[in-house]
Chain A
Amino acid sequence: EVPKALLPVANRPVLSYVLEQLELSNIKDLIVVVEGADAALRVGGWISAAYVDRLHVEVATVPEDVGTAGALRAIAHHLTAKDVLVVSGDLVSDVPPGAVTAAHRRHDAVVTAMICSVPVSGLSEAGSSGAKDKTKKPGRYNIIGMDPTKQFLLHIATGAELEKDTRIRKSILRAVGQMDIRADLMDAHMYAFNRSVLQEVLDQKDKFQSLKQDVLPYLVRSQLKSEILINGAPQGQQAKENGNDKVSYRILANASTPSFHELYALGPNGSAPVRRTHKCCVYIASNSKYCVRLNSIQAFMDINRDVIGEANHLSGYNFSAQNNIIHPSAELGSKTTVGPHCMLGEGSQMGDKCSVKRSVIGRHCRIGSNVKVVNSVVMNHVTIGDGCSIQGSVICSNAQLQERVALKDCQVLSLSTSVFLSLSSNEYL
């Protein structure tokens, strides 16, 4: 019921991580596109409350099921810049967006995608491994082909296509000579697009629904026989118009290290560029950076754990000496322990002899005595009865757990559900 963008990660909506990252980069003018009017209202409301006076945010609403490409089509007329940055709202990352843009600018690329290594999910923890199988979705894994310098994107296939054969263009392979194919990287859904090209592609290909599955692979596929009227054509005209421009252009071109695109465009022994090409670049986030998308429940839990754990610089909170965050207004009963990597929201109350390990507990929760919370996310206004034991579970806002309930690897999704029974594992409610 909560829009995904507002799902709390360490008691902050996930969207705030993106916005904060952008704000940090001094990007202050944003358009947020939300699917569905209802969700848009809530997202807009939250942003206006949280970011007034800090960011200049516009919210656009698009009908549901138009896909990412459709969303861009809808706001296309608002875009005026030469390049646009497209970020998925569920990205929790500390990779500076400037780096992606810089790589984009450096090569005058048509599109630059940020890719990051596939997060190493906490496999060692037995609790989460079971849930993982179930939540694994097709399309999460990509095959990404790059040139040896790791600057250009040569092939991208999402998991759905992976089950079939993977087709790689011979011409690309021939032009590059060598291709690195990686399966341990994934698309982080942060793209820098050349605006005019993006709009052209969106206009021409009406059926394109998703940036990731349609637009990006299309651009990558066609990079050596570009059908797009990008700078190539006008540049050529300019060069013809003025002899001097041509010379300076040639001096520049000769002095710069040519990418395989230019070499290919020149043809085997032709002198004038005969083939039109465009560049698709990648920016690979280094392993030291944190970069995860919140696209499954497993990822949700992982992110929650990481943000208060190893990637705690993202959360923006000050950690106490015990490496946890306990809001001053939270009340703890006697003999209650809150371990490291935990977070306790404001106004939460805990009874006696509770123990919380590696979990996030939201605001105004009431937790009875003798409750164990391990590896779990408890959202706001949750009531948990005495003697409960919660492991590896997500409990949504306003849920109520009666006494002595044991939850293991469960998701209590619906609001104001009352749970009486003990559940073994992997149950949805």
Chain B
Amino acid sequence: MDSRRSSRAVIDPKVRQVGFFTSAPLPPDRTQSDPPDPIRSPPLADASSPGNSLSPVMIPPPRHPSDSLLRLPHSPSDAFPPPSPTTTTTSLGDFSDDVTAASSPPPAAARVRGRGSSVKQQGAASSFPGGGFEVPPSVKAPSSVPASGLTTVSVVKLPPGISENAGGSVSVEVQSDRALNSKPLKEKTSKAERRAIQEAQRAAKAAAKAEGIKTPAVTALANAKSAKSTKPSPQRNDSAVVVAASEKKGGDRSVEKDRKKDVPHPRMQYDDKSRVQKLKKRSVVKPTEARNRVELFRHLPQYEHGTQLPVLQSKFFQLDTLHPAVYKVGLQYLSGDICGGNARCIAMLQAFQEAIRDYSTPPAKTLSRDLTAKISSYVSFLIDCRPLSVSMGNAIRFLKSQIAKIPISLSESEAKATLHSDIERFINEKIILADRVIVKHAVTKIRDGDVLLTYGSSSAVEMILQHAHELGKQFRVVIVDSRPKHEGKLLLRRLVRKGLSCTYTHINAISYIMHEVTRVFLGASSVLSNGTVYSRVGTACVAMVAYGFHIPVLVCCEAYKFHERVQLDSICSNELGDPDSISKVPGREDINHLDGWDKSENLQLLNLIYDATPSDYVSLIITDYGMIPPTSVPVIVREYGRGQLWIYEECDPLASPGRCSDAVFFVDGLIFYPSQHLVLSFWFPDRPPSGLNNDLLERSDNFVTVAENGNFTNFEL
């Protein structure tokens, strides 16, 4: 890190930069030598004067810090060799075309839910009627029992609202065709529906008002108390009302759109009774507020656990606007079946993928607008189930920006295919590939004879430990765990099965066990821009003890979990878990002394989910952009936070040789696409990246540049 810091001093002092910086990869001599430069040069480089060769856009690709730390900055002209003529032909268009061809547009009426039915005394079964029923009964029955025909005895006329829910499937159209004496559209909005719309509009107004209040609360830096006492000034109120009024002018919007507006602010203050009431009104899950809440944490949502699940379950069929996949994910969040930032994010994105696949634009609406509204309604449902994690928030922001970017000219199936592949790439690149890079970096920090301590169960740390073990490093792992979730047990189980030697202990023993530890690896739910690590509760404690023992603390966190927020304590933003789970010890009936005490007025149970570790206690943050000190987090957030989500692109050269022919492969796994200036990617075949293998050389038809010891060689083919 020191070397990087020194290189920062070289930077033009007028540009104030935080974090580490290196010289830009586009030095003047290269610009002169390459005719097709304008295409390749990053937009920011254009803005800066040609004399200033230092562009803040480029951050060197992560490397092994030991050997290649200074290689790229020192010889920038060599790092990006002149591309061959074919290099410029790379186009994302090709790629997306491939994708469209590969993933054929899904069938329109494929989405089905379980439908109920009934029988006389027998079982009955039912299914989605549409396609099934219109198909004439096949002659060959699947069993000995003669197939029975179906007689339609009762037909229903569906109001238009429902037909939309069914995804414009065939069945509904058929049904509405059948409904001969259908009434005009207007009459079909029932009283209840009208009321729902009205109520939603009212709620939207309230939300707008609330937003007006919230903005100052956010600026009042992380002080929950002051935010609480902030009363909306009349001025603000007026402006909020104006906003709401202008919103109302929008005319008849669907309820769903209103829901989008109603998505509670991530840092909504839950101790404001009126606002909570309004939120409750539109909430799907209908939580019951817990009674005895700890004073300091009243601004956080806390509900009676165990009341939400049955209510949500019973609404399975009512939530027609909700895609079943999203519903399932929400249910799993609520019941705690899925936890962990990466897993929750992947599960959510995959559910969205499915929802988008089954989506069809309603008539007279544009895809981008309607789909955004739809995604927003899904998100608000997921928030109802469990507050979003930072990783999910970032993923949602990405998805929405991708939806917004879709050109109107694109056909629906193409747009859906694009979004599908976008999500796929987000998962692959921001999570899976990022994890691989993190593993690659972190493994260099593990030496033989190390004793590594980890807390809880982090997916990144687990991969690091397993990979280090596969590399044959000799080390021991201490897994520190805590009640009530005992997440470490599962990690322990998996590690022990792989043959790692482990020690398992609880956080109570941390000060004892820390004596023998040489390194601490921690996972994180999020890293905030002041370097604060927001993670499972207990992490701060572990980090502080390690700091006290002068043991390096390495936090492994994918860059997509970084957030620009600044947080000084774990009070203002946190999540509250089920208070019962800390008062009850499963399997130990004899010590459950607090049974029934939760109704007592002077007992308050606090089960925090997260805590904030100050950056002082963190030695290093390992991300997919390299190993950085906690002070450099703002750089990552600034440079890669928004808009530039496509930094990496994984490419299997053997699977798609044509696509890779224009890429430049580096030994340490870096792939550079000269035609797409900023696109760097990592290529991790299973073999160690000590040299390019024959397959690759044969298949890429132009040349490959190999960097070795700072020298770059072109391999012409």
Q: Which residues of A contact B (CB under 8 A)?
A: 3-5, 15, 18-19, 22, 25-35, 39-40, 43-45, 47-48, 50-63, 66-90, 96-99, 101-106, 189, 191-193, 195, 198-199, 202-203, 206, 211, 244, 247-248, 251-252, 254-258, 269, 271, 286
- Please, what's the 1-or-0 string for B121-132, where 1 marks a CB less than 8 Å from any CB in chain A? 111111111111
Identify the closest chain B residue to A56 (Cβ). B156
Contact B650 A244 (CB under 8 A): yes
Q: A residues within 8 A CB of B327?
A: 102, 105
Q: Pick from B141, B316, B457: contact of A101, CB below 8 A.
A: B316
Q: A residues within 8 A CB of B335?
A: 106
A31 to B313 CA separation, bound complex (whole angstroms): 23
Of B147-155, B562-570, B706-714, the one with at least 4 CB within 8 A of chain A: B147-155
Contacts A81-B128, A251-B459; is A30 near B343 (CB within 8 Å)?
A: no
Q: Pick from A29, A70, A88, A189: contact of B145, CB below 8 A.
A: A70
Q: Pick from B132, B156, B431, B462: contact of A28, CB below 8 A.
A: B156
Q: A residues within 8 A CB of B179?
A: 53
Q: How many residues of B contact A (CB 8 A)?
A: 85
Q: B residues within 8 A CB of A66?
A: 145
Contact B337 A102 (CB under 8 A): no
* Top-4 shortest CB links A-B: A98-B316, A255-B343, A68-B123, A255-B340
- Please, what's the 1-or-0 string for B95-116, where 1 marks a CB less than 8 Å from any CB in chain A? 0000000000000000011111
Q: B residues within 8 A CB of A202?
A: 142-143
Q: B residues within 8 A CB of A195?
A: 127
Within 8 Å of chain A (Cβ to Cβ): is B332? yes
A112 to B129 CA separation, bound complex (whole angstroms): 22
Identify the closest chain A residue to B586 (Cβ). A148
Contact B328 A106 (CB under 8 A): yes
Contacts A33-B119, A84-B115, A84-B127; is A271 near B497 (CB within 8 Å)?
A: yes
Contacts A88-B118, A202-B142; is A53 near B124 (CB within 8 Å)?
A: no
Contact B118 A18 (CB under 8 A): yes
Q: Pick from B124, B171, B342, B346: contact of A86, CB below 8 A.
A: B124
A19 to B148 CA separation, bound complex (whole angstroms): 21
A256 to B489 CA separation, bound complex (whole angstroms): 13
A192 to B331 CA separation, bound complex (whole angstroms): 17
Contact B151 A63 (CB under 8 A): no
- Please, what's the 1-or-0 string for B337-359, where 1 marks a CB less than 8 Å from any CB in chain A? 11110111011000000000000
Within 8 Å of chain A (Cβ to Cβ): is B18? no
Contacts A97-B116, A101-B114, A269-B497; is A75 near B316 (CB within 8 Å)?
A: no
Query: Which of B116, B150, B340 counts the most chain A CB atoms within 10 A?
Result: B116
B292 to chain A, nearest CB (A): 25
Contact A81 B113 (CB under 8 A): yes
Contacts A62-B122, A73-B145, A256-B338; is A78 near B115 (CB within 8 Å)?
A: no
Q: B residues within 8 A CB of A54?
A: 154, 156
Q: Pick from A26, A198, A247: contact of B320, CB below 8 A.
A: A26
Q: Pick from B141, B338, B432: contact of A247, CB below 8 A.
A: B432
Q: Pick from B113, B144, B150, B318: contact of A75, CB below 8 A.
A: B150
A26 to B318 CA separation, bound complex (whole angstroms): 6
Contact B427 A244 (CB under 8 A): yes
Instruction: Add 10 more A-B contacts to A15-B118, A25-B317, A60-B151 (CB < 8 A).
Output: A5-B118, A29-B129, A32-B117, A33-B119, A52-B154, A74-B145, A96-B316, A199-B142, A244-B433, A251-B431
A53 to chain B, nearest CB (A): 6
Within 8 Å of chain A (Cβ to Cβ): is B133? yes
Contacts A97-B317, A206-B144; is A4 near B338 (CB within 8 Å)?
A: no
Pull 5 A–B residue pairs with CB atoms less than 8 Å apart, ordered by A.
A30-B118, A40-B120, A62-B148, A74-B146, A80-B128
Identify the closest chain A residue to B342 (Cβ). A251
Contact B142 A69 (CB under 8 A): no
Contact B120 A254 (CB under 8 A): no
Identify the closest chain A residue to B436 (Cβ). A247
Q: A residues within 8 A CB of B131?
A: 80
A291 to chain B, nearest CB (A): 13
A298 to chain B, nearest CB (A): 17
Q: Pick from B114, B143, B147: contact of A84, CB below 8 A.
A: B114
Within 8 Å of chain A (Cβ to Cβ): is B175? yes
Within 8 Å of chain A (Cβ to Cβ): is B498? yes
A4 to B427 CA separation, bound complex (whole angstroms): 54
Contacts A81-B128, A101-B316, A244-B428; is A75 near B118 (CB within 8 Å)?
A: no
Within 8 Å of chain A (Cβ to Cβ): is B157? yes
Contact B120 A89 (CB under 8 A): yes
A88 to B116 CA separation, bound complex (whole angstroms): 10
Contact B141 A74 (CB under 8 A): yes
Contact B312 A102 (CB under 8 A): yes
Identify the closest chain A residue to B128 (Cβ). A81
Q: Pick from A30, A33, A48, A56: contact of B122, CB below 8 A.
A: A33
Q: Pick from A15, A53, A79, A252: contact of B127, CB below 8 A.
A: A79
Identify the closest chain B residue to A104 (Cβ). B114
Contact A31 B316 (CB under 8 A): no
Q: A residues within 8 A CB of B128?
A: 29, 80-81
Query: Which of B125, B133, B154 counts the most chain A CB atoms within 10 A?
Result: B125
Contact A34 B427 (CB under 8 A): no
Identify the closest chain B residue to A198 (Cβ). B125
A25 to B123 CA separation, bound complex (whole angstroms): 19
B153 to chain A, nearest CB (A): 4
Contact B314 A86 (CB under 8 A): no
A19 to B132 CA separation, bound complex (whole angstroms): 21
Contact B317 A4 (CB under 8 A): no
Contact B317 A101 (CB under 8 A): yes
Contacts A4-B121, A28-B158, A98-B318; is A58 near B459 (CB within 8 Å)?
A: no
A56 to B175 CA separation, bound complex (whole angstroms): 8
Q: B residues within 8 A CB of A269?
A: 497
A280 to B267 CA separation, bound complex (whole angstroms): 40
Contact A85 B121 (CB under 8 A): no
Within 8 Å of chain A (Cβ to Cβ): is B336? yes
Contact B337 A73 (CB under 8 A): no
Q: B residues within 8 A CB of A256?
A: 332, 337-339, 343
Q: Pick from A26, A61, A102, A206: contact of B143, CB below 8 A.
A: A206
A47 to B494 CA separation, bound complex (whole angstroms): 56
Q: B residues within 8 A CB of A83?
A: 113-114
Within 8 Å of chain A (Cβ to Cβ): is B324? yes
Contact B313 A99 (CB under 8 A): yes
Contact B314 A99 (CB under 8 A): yes
Within 8 Å of chain A (Cβ to Cβ): is B248? no
Contact A53 B157 (CB under 8 A): yes
A44 to chain B, nearest CB (A): 4
Contact B133 A58 (CB under 8 A): yes
Query: Which of A72, A193, A202 counts the most chain B CB atoms within 10 A?
Result: A72
A101 to B457 CA separation, bound complex (whole angstroms): 31
A73 to B158 CA separation, bound complex (whole angstroms): 30
Q: B residues within 8 A CB of A189?
A: 123
B267 to chain A, nearest CB (A): 25
Contact A252 B316 (CB under 8 A): no
Contact B133 A71 (CB under 8 A): no
Contacts A195-B127, A255-B342, A271-B498; is A53 near B120 (CB within 8 Å)?
A: no
Q: B residues within 8 A CB of A62?
A: 122, 145, 148
Identify the closest chain B residue to A21 (Cβ). B116
Q: A residues within 8 A CB of B129?
A: 29, 56, 58
B608 to chain A, nearest CB (A): 20
Contacts A73-B143, A88-B119; is A98 near B314 (CB within 8 Å)?
A: yes
Q: Pick from B145, B175, B316: contact of A25, CB below 8 A.
A: B316
A193 to B115 CA separation, bound complex (whole angstroms): 11
Within 8 Å of chain A (Cβ to Cβ): is B262? no
Identify the closest chain B residue to A190 (Cβ). B116
Q: A residues within 8 A CB of B462?
A: 254
Identify the closest chain B residue to A90 (Cβ). B121
Q: B residues within 8 A CB of A247?
A: 432, 435
Identify the closest chain A residue to B136 (Cβ). A77
A19 to B462 CA separation, bound complex (whole angstroms): 51
B458 to chain A, nearest CB (A): 10
Contact B331 A106 (CB under 8 A): yes
